[in-house]
C-alpha cells in the first residue's frame, strides 16, 4: 500500500521541475526501505510520518532540498543509515538539513529540563545556519501534534506544553501565521482537553447565533467599498480557540463578554487602497478610540503588515477589521517561507529574510555567552514574544522590542557596546530613568560614557534575552583581577593579625588549602575573598592550621571576632539564630563561607566529626546592627492582649519583624510568635523581662530553631 503513497504527494509537487521531483521520489524510496518494519504508535507504517511532513512543506512550496530532507529527517537516528550515506546520495546541503532536524542523540542528561534545553539549543544553532531547518521541524511538530491521540496522556501534555512554549511562538516569530494558530489550538487541546471541549462547543453555538449578524455586517462592508469604487475581497475571520482562551484568562472575561470572536479581512489591490478602504470603514462604523494599529507604516518584527481597526458595529458590537494587500496577505500566512514559495524580488520578502537573519544572529550572540543550556533556554523564551512596541532611534530608524522593554533593552538592541556604556536616556527629548518602559512611537536616545559598565540592578527590569545575557556575562567576568588583588591583600592582613610571627606558607600548604576550598588556583581563592564570598580571617585560619601541623608553629593564638555585618562571607545559622552575647562557634563551609552557630545548637553534634572545620569565634563589643530573634509568648485570651504585648516590646527598644499565632483550640490561652529585633542577648533579656511583667503573659520562650515542623525553644 505504501509503495503507492508517493503518488498521493506527486500533485503537490507540480511547482517543481521534473528532475527535482525525481530526486524527491528517490529520497522517499530510500526512507521507505530504511524504515521498513517500523510502525508508529497508531499502528501505521513509520514512513507515513516523513511523507506527511514533506506534504506539509510542499503545501508551502518549499524547495526540493527541503522536501528531500523532510523525507529523510528520522533516518539517521532511527535506522542503520548514516549521515555519510545521505551526503553521498543526496548532497551535503541535504545532509546538513537532516543533521539539523535530527532529534538530540541519546545522551545522559542531568534532567529532562536540561535535555529539552540542550535539544532546543542544537535546533536553534542549526536553524541559524539555515532557516529551512526550523521549517522542517515545525512541519514535523505539526504532524506529530495531529497524530498524538494514541500517546499516553502524560506524554501528550508534556509535548503540548513544549509546543505552546516554544514551537508556536517560533512559528509566530517567523511569520507563519496559520501554522502558529494551528499549533496553539492543538497544544491547547492536549494541555487542557476539558476546557478545549467546553470552549469549542460555546464557539460553535455562538457561530449559529451570530451568523445572521456577521452576514449583515459583511454585506454592509462590501456595499460601502463598492460605493467608494475600491476593489476588495472580504472574508469573515474567526478567532482561533487558544486566542479566545488567552483573552479570557488575561482579562478575566466570561465567554459571553468576548465579542471580537469574528472579524473581517479586507484584501485590496495596492497600499494606497488600504488607507482608502480604512477611511470607508470608519465612515460606515465609528472606530473605537485607541484600537487602531498601522502595521503597514511600521511592520511587525516578523515582517507582518496590515491595518487593524476595531469598530462599533450594529447594536454596539465590536468588529475587528484587518486591511491588507494581496502580497501582505500572502506574507501574513506564509512568513519567511514566502522566500521559497514565490521567487520574487519583492522588497517585502527580502525584508522578512533580513529581519529573520537579524533575529537568528541575535540567538547566536546569546548562546555564545552561555555554557548553561537551561539559562540559554530561559533567555530565548523571553525573546519569543508575541507582541512588540515600536520605537525610533535618533536617526529615525524603527526598532521593534518586546512589550515591557526598557531603555536598557533598547541600548543593547542598538549595539552591545552601547548597552555596556549607557548611563542615561532621553525619551522624547526628556531625561528619564533607565528602567523606564518604552511605548509605541517613543523617540529614544541613549547617553553613554566610556568608563561606564552594566549594573547588577538592571537585571531587575530588563526583559530581552540579549540584554539579560550580556549583563549576566559581564557581571560574571568583570573585576576578577581587581578582586583577586584585593583578596590577596586582605588575606595577608588577616594572617598578620592572627599570628604576626607566622612563616610564609609553602606550596604544599597552599595545595591542601586550595583542595579543601574546592578551587584550582590561588588566584581563584583570592578572587573569592575579594568578592566577599570567603572571609579572609577564615582562610587565614585554615592556612595557619595546616602550617602549624607541618612546622609545629602555633596556629591562631586569638579567636576570630565577628560583628555579624560581614555580608555573604559570614552567615548566622538559621537553626539556632545566634545573637551577640550567645557563646558561639564557627563552621567553615567551602561554598557558603563561615556559618555561626550557638554552642548548644543541635547541628554541632552532626558536624563534630570534622573538627578541622570548626574554629573559635567571639562577638565584637559593638556589633552595630539589630538581630532577628524568634520568641514564643503564651497569653490569656483577653481583648486587646496582642496590642499590649506589642506595646511592651516597643517600649524596650525592639522592633517587631513578624507576628503570627496558633489556631484557636478552645482553650483559655493563645500562643503568639514574634520575630523581634534586638542588639544582643542582654537586650533580649530586657524585652523578655518587660513582657513577664504583663499579667496576661503566662509563659515566654526564645525559639532557637525548628524540628519536625515544631518549634524547638529554650526558656
Task: Note whether 186 and 198 are same-domain residues.
Answer: no
Higher per-residue confidence, 145 vs 602: 145
Confidence of residue 5 (pLDDT cuts 50, 70, 90): confident
Are 145 and 170 contained in the same domain?
yes
| pLDDT at res. 691 | 92
| Residues 632, 679 share a domain | yes
For the cut 70, the answer to whether the pLDDT of residue 533 exceeds it is no
Torsions phi, psi for 61 (to 5 deg):
60, 40
> What digits encode the pLDDT tens for the residues 634-654?
998 888 888 899 889 988 888
CB 390 within 8 Å of CB 301: no
Q: Alpha carbon of 534 to those of 345, 487, 504, 513: distances in Å?
A: 62, 9, 21, 13
Tell whether 281 and 265 lie within a shared domain: yes
Mean pLDDT of the chain: 77
Q: Which of 593, 619, 645 is the last residue of a domain?
A: 619
Write the pLDDT tens digit of every residue in 558-584: 555 555 544 445 678 878 888 888 888
Q: Does pLDDT of 382 surpass 70?
A: no
**Catalytic annotation, residues:** 77-78
pLDDT at 276: 93
Look at residue 356 and tell me if it is in a domain.
no
Percentage of the chain modeled with pLDDT above 90: 9
Phi, psi torsion values for 353, nearest 5 degrees: -60, -45
629, three cell numbers: 530573634
What domain range is 175 assigned to?
A: 2-190
pLDDT at 615: 65
352 belongs to a structural domain: no
Return the CATH number at 277: 3.30.460.10
Residue 365 inside a domain? The answer is no
Domain shared by 532 and 655, yes or no: no
- pLDDT on residue 96: 82
List Cα–Cα distances, 96 to 19, 72, 133, 339, 440, in angstroms.
Answer: 21, 11, 9, 20, 41
Residue 709 confidence (pLDDT) above 50: no
pLDDT over 80 at 199, yes or no: yes
Whether residue 291 sits in one domain with residue 209:
yes
Among 458, 474, 490, give the residue marking a domain's end: 474
Q: Which of 190, 213, 236 is the last residue of a domain?
A: 190
- Rounded-to-integer distance, Cα 187 and Cα 196, Å: 10
Q: Are residues 417 and 516 in the same domain?
A: no
State how far Cα 248 lies from the chain centre: 23
- Looking up residue 11, the CATH number of its domain turns out to be 1.10.3210.10
Per the domain annotation, does 180 fall within a domain? yes
Q: What is the mean pLDDT of residues 604-616?
A: 62
Domain count, the chain: 5
Query: Is the distance from CB of 134 to CB of 183 less than 8 angstroms?
Result: no
pLDDT given for residue 278 in this prediction:
92
Is 364 contained in some domain?
A: no
Q: Report the Cα 515 to chain-centroid distance in Å.
A: 36
What is the SS3 string spanning 86-121? HHHHHCHHHHHHHHHHCCCCCCCCCCHHHHHHHHHH
Is residue 40 situated within a structural domain? yes
Is residue 167, in this structure, part of any structural domain at all? yes
Average pLDDT of span 6-25 = 86
pLDDT of amino acid 161: 84
Q: What is the pLDDT of residues 456-515, one digit of tens each?
A: 788 888 888 788 878 877 776 665 666 677 678 778 877 777 777 777 788 888 888 888
Q: Tell me, yes or no, whether 175 and 277 share the same domain.
A: no
Q: Is the pLDDT of residue 122 over 60?
A: no
Q: In this structure, are 570 and 492 located in the same domain?
A: yes
- Confidence (pLDDT) at 82: 81
Give 683 or 317, the one with higher predicted confidence: 683
* pLDDT at residue 374 is higher than 60: no
Dmax (CA) of the chain: 105
Give 327-367 pLDDT, tens digit per residue: 888 777 665 555 444 444 444 445 555 555 555 555 555 55
Tell me, yes or no, whether 492 and 635 share the same domain: no
Residue 398 has pLDDT above 60, yes or no: yes
99 within a domain of the structure (yes/no): yes
**What is the DSSP track for 332-374?**
HHHGGGHHHHS----HHHHHHHHHHHHHHHHHHHHHHT-S-HH
Same structural domain for residues 275 and 287?
Answer: yes
- Mind listing the pLDDT tens digit for each residue in 139-181? 988 998 988 877 888 888 888 888 887 788 778 777 777 888 8
Best CA proximity match to 636, nearest among 699, 701, 696:
696
DSSP one-letter code for 2: G
Residues 170 and 137 in one domain: yes
pLDDT in tens, 208-267: 666 677 788 888 899 999 999 999 989 877 677 888 888 787 777 777 666 566 688 899
* Integer Cα distance of 483 and 530 in angstroms: 4
- 3-state secondary structure labels for all residues of 521-532: CHHHHHHHHHCC
Task: Specify the DSSP element, H or E, that contains 658.
Answer: strand 655-661
* CA–CA separation, 163 and 165 (whole Å): 6
The CATH code of the domain that includes 707 is: 3.30.70.260
Statement: residue 404 has pLDDT above 50: yes
Q: How far is CA 407 from the centre of its chain?
A: 20
The sign one gets for the Cα dihedral 120, 124, 127, 132 is positive
- Confidence class of residue 103 from pLDDT cuts 50, 70 and 90? very low
Amino acid at each position: 500500500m505504501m509503495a503507492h503513497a508517493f503518488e498521493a504527494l506527486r500533485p503537490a509537487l507540480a511547482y517543481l521541475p521534473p528532475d527535482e521531483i525525481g530526486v524527491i521520489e528517490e529520497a522517499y524510496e530510500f526512507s521507505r526501505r530504511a524504515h521498513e518494519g517500523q510502525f508508529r504508535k497508531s499502528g501505521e507504517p513509520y514512513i507515513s510520518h516523513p511523507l506527511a511532513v514533506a506534504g506539509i512543506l510542499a503545501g508551502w512550496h518549499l524547495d526540493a532540498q527541503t522536501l528531500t530532507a523532510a523525507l529523510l529527517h528520522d533516518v539517521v537516528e532511527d535506522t542503520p543509515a548514516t549521515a555519510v550515506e545521505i551526503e553521498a546520495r543526496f548532497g551535503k546541503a541535504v545532509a546538513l538539513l537532516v543533521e539539523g532536524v535530527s532529534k538530540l542523540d541519546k545522551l545522559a542528561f542531568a534532567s529532562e529540563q536540561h535535555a529539552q534545553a540542550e535539544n532546543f539549543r542544537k535546533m536553534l544553532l542549526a536553524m541559524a545556519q539555515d532557516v529551512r531547518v526550523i521549517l522542517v521541524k515545525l512541519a514535523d511538530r505539526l504532524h506529530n501534534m495531529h497524530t498524538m491521540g494514541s500517546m499516553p496522556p502524560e506524554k501528550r501534555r508534556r509535548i503540548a506544553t513544549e509546543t505552546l512554549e516554544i514551537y508556536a511562538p517560533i512559528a509566530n516569530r517567523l511569520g507563519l501565521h496559520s501554522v502558529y494558530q494551528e499549533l496553539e489550538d492543538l497544544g491547547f487541546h492536549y494541555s487542557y482537553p476539558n476546557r478545549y471541549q467546553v470552549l469549542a462547543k460555546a464557539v460553535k453555538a455562538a457561530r449559529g447565533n451570530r451568523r445572521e449578524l456577521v452576514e449583515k455586517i459583511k454585506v454592509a462592508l462590501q456595499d460601502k467599498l463598492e460605493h467608494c469604487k475600491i476593489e476588495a475581497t472580504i472574508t469573515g475571520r474567526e478567532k482561533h480557540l487558544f486566542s479566545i482562551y488567552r483573552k479570557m484568562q488575561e482579562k478575566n472575561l466570561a465567554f459571553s463578554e468576548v465579542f471580537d470572536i469574528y472579524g473581517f479581512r479586507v484584501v485590496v489591490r495596492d497600499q494606497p487602497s488600504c488607507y482608502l478602504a480604512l477611511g470607508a470603514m470608519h465612515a460606515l462604523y465609528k472606530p473605537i478610540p485607541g484600537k487602531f494599529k498601522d502595521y503597514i507604516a511600521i511592520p511587525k518584527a516578523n515582517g507582518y503588515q496590515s491595518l487593524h481597526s476595531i469598530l462599533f458595529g450594529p447594536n454596539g458590537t465590536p468588529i475587528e477589521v484587518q486591511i491588507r494587500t494581496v502580497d501582505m496577505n500572502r506574507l501574513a500566512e506564509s512568513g519567511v517561507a514566502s522566500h521559497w514559495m514565490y521567487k520574487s524580488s519583492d522588497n517585502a520578502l527580502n525584508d522578512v529574510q533580513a529581519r529573520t537573519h537579524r533575529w537568528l544572529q541575535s540567538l547566536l550572540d546569546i548562546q555564545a555567552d552561555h555554557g548553561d543550556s537551561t539559562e540559554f533556554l530561559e533567555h530565548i523564551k523571553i525573546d519569543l514574544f508575541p507582541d512588540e512596541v515600536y520605537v525610533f532611534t535618533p536617526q529615525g530608524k524603527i526598532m521593534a522590542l518586546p512589550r515591557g522593554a526598557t531603555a536598557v533593552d533598547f541600548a543593547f538592541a542598538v549595539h552591545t557596546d552601547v548597552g555596556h556604556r549607557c548611563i542615561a536616556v532621553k525619551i522624547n527629548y526628556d531625561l528619564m530613568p533607565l528602567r523606564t518602559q518604552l511605548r509605541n512611537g517613543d523617540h529614544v536616545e541613549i547617553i553613554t560614557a566610556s568608563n561606564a559598565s552594566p549594573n547588577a540592578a538592571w537585571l531587575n527590569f530588563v526583559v530581552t534575552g540579549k540584554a539579560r545575557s550580556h549583563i549576566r556575562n559581564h557581571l560574571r567576568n568583570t573585576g576578577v583581577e581587581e578582586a583577586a588583588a584585593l583578596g590577596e591583600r586582605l588575606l595577608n592582613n588577616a594572617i598578620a593579625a592572627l599570628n604576626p610571627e607566622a612563616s610564609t606558607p609553602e606550596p604544599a600548604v597552599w595545595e591542601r588549602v586550595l583542595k579543601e576550598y574546592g578551587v584550582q588556583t590561588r588566584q581563584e581563592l583570592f578572587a573569592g575573598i575579594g568578592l566577599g564570598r570567603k572571609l579572609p580571617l577564615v582562610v587565614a585560619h585554615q592556612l595557619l592550621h595546616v602550617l602549624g601541623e607541618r612546622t609545629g608553629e602555633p596556629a591562631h593564638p586569638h579567636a576570630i571576632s565577628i560583628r555579624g555585618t560581614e555580608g555573604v562571607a559570614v552567615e548566622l545559622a538559621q537553626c539556632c539564630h545566634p545573637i551577640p552575647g550567645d557563646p558561639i562557634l564557627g563552621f567553615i563551609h567551602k561554598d557558603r563561607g563561615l556559618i555561626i552557630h550557638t554552642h548548644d545548637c543541635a547541628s554541632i553534634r552532626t558536624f563534630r566529626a570534622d573538627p578541622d572545620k570548626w574554629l573559635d569565634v567571639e562577638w565584637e563589643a559593638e556589633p552595630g546592627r539589630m538581630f532577628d530573634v524568634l520568641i514564643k509568648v503564651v497569653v490569656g485570651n483577653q481583648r486587646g492582649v496582642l496590642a499590649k504585648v506589642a506595646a511592651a516590646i516597643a517600649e524596650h527598644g525592639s522592633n517587631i519583624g513578624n507576628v503570627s499565632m496558633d489556631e484557636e483550640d478552645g482553650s483559655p490561652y493563645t500562643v503568639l510568635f514574634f520575630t523581634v529585633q534586638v542588639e544582643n542577648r542582654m537586650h533580649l533579656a530586657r524585652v523578655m523581662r518587660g513582657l513577664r511583667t504583663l499579667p496576661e503573659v503566662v509563659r515566654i520562650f526564645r525559639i532557637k530553631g525548628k524540628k519536625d515542623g515544631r518549634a524547638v525553644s529554650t526558656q
